[in-house]
Structures are given as C-alpha cells and as structure tokens.
Amino acid sequence: MTASLAPHSVENSLTKTSLEQLLVLLGKQKPSVTENNSIEFEHRRIVTGKTLYSSGESFENLYLVFSGFLKLSNIDAEGNERITDFPMKSDLLGIDGICEQHYHLQAVALTECNLIVIPFRKVVCALQETPTFEEYLYRAISRSLVREQSSKTLMNLLSAEARLARFLILLSERYEALGFSSTCYILRMTRQEIGSYLGMTIETVSRCLTALAQAALIKVEQRNITLLNKRALRTLQRLPLLHKNNGKDKISKLEKQIIV
C-alpha cells in the first residue's frame, strides 16, 4: 500500500502560468472573468537534492511551489542545519529575502520540483494596477508568518511525542487541503530532518514513531505513514508536557478516551 496519491506526481509538464492561475494557487476562491490574463510567469525546475537558493545570495525572485517538496533551513556558524519549514504545493518561498534584499535561509529540493518564478521587484511595480495580486501576495506572506508563529508556539512545552503527533497531523491537513489523501502519505524527509525541524534528536524521532505505531495510532513502513487514529493523534498533540504517567500509560489512557 503505497501513498501514490501524495503530491509531486502528475502536472509537472507546465512551463508557464497565467496570473489568474497564480492567484488561485495563492488562495483566491472564485475565478474572475475580467482579470488581466496576458501576463505569464516562467517556471523553474530543480532536481532532488539541488539548492534553489542559499543563505546570503542576493534576492530577486519569490517562488511559488507548483509541485514537489522542499526544505527550508538555516545553517549556523558551526555548520548545523536547522530546518524551519517543509514547503510544498502552493507555498510561497523566498519571503525571507525581501527585508534585506538577500535570502536568509537556504531552500533545497527533497523531490523533483516545479516552481513558478515571481520576479519580485518587477512584478510588484508592474502589477500595482492589479490590486488582487497585491492582496493575495500580502495574504500569502501573512499566512507564512502565522504558520511560523503557531508552530513556534506549539513546539515548545510539548513533549516529543506530542510534537511528532502534531507534525503528522499538520502534514495530513496540508495534503488534504491540496486534495490528496490525508490518512496515507510519504514522508519526503529523513528522520534527521524531522528531528531538526521539531527540535529533537533522530533517536527520539525514531522512538516516538515506534511508540505511536505500537499504540496503533499510526502505521510506519519506512517513510510511508498511515494515520490510523486521527482523533487520538489530535488529543495527544494537545497534552501538555510531562504527565504523571509514563508513555505507555499515556497512550492506553488515550485509548480509553477514544473508546468512550
């Protein structure tokens, strides 16, 4: 049972995208009739493992993910990688470059990627007579901020198990929003990368996955994840850190809650 419905599959053929299509990806609901559709955006493809942009590089473009899966990370002075996000379809990349005209982070493809290129300066100037574009650009940027804040907020003070449960649920919701299966998907990143993102060691990631699987909340087959009990996962992700019981008790207690 492979998660063949996961993103990064078809629709890799496009090489140009109209403004209207771009707005829909940015979150626009109903297609407008009168929109300026003469403007087209180039695409850029990168293969697995390649870098889209690096920290310090001068900022020129925003990128909207059309297909594929990436990681966004920070390399500190000692060379340690700290992952801040895993962008996927419809996510906007490169916002971190606007403020100082050079990118702060590094974006690397975890699968083959097809990205819509948005030349920022040109576009913002040229499209100011197209208010909807501006509006959705603002919204997309704001959404990134909200997501960062809420993930930051929730990562701390939650146990490793809770954070991992939350991570799996959030991934599931993102897949669902894109029209893919929300219960069965492929992790496109290594355990190491999950650990970097969630702020825990690779061993802890592994142990927590095992624990969740033993409690029959998920099924783990290498990077293939099946969510078996989303309700329990949701409950788990809200448990504050450190209850009086150990892991097994916690989960069996959870089981009871669910049966009731």
34 binds DNA, rule: CB under 7 A = no
Stretch that binds a copy of itself, among 8-16, 38-46, 172-180, 198-206 (CB under 8 A): 198-206
Q: Which of 99, 244, 259, 260 binds DNA (CB under 7 A)?
A: 244
Could you say which of DNA, a copy of itself, none residue 206 binds, taking C-beta under 5 to 8 angstroms by partner kind? Answer: DNA
Would you count residue 220 as binding DNA (CB under 7 A)? yes
Q: Which residues contact 59 (CB under 8 A, 6 or more apart)?
A: 94, 97, 98, 100, 101, 102, 103, 120
30: Cβ contacts below 8 Å, ≥ 6 apart: none
Of the two residues 110 and 115, which places its CB atom closer to DNA in the complex?
110
Minimum CB–partner distance for residue 139 and a copy of itself (Å): 5
> Is the distance from CB of 224 to CB of 260 less than 8 angstroms?
no
Site for DNA in 134-193 (CB under 7 A): 157, 159-161, 190-192
Q: Which is closer to a copy of itself, CB of 47 or CB of 145?
A: 145
Site membership for a copy of itself, residue 240 (CB under 8 A): yes
Please, which of residues 111-130 interact with DNA by CB under 7 A? none
Q: Which of 241, 252, 257, 258 binds DNA (CB under 7 A)?
A: 241
Judged by CB under 8 A, the chain residues 111 through 150 that form the site for a copy of itself are: 124-125, 128-129, 131, 134-135, 138-146, 148-150
Site string for a copy of itself, 36-75 (x = CB under 8 A): --------------------------------------x-
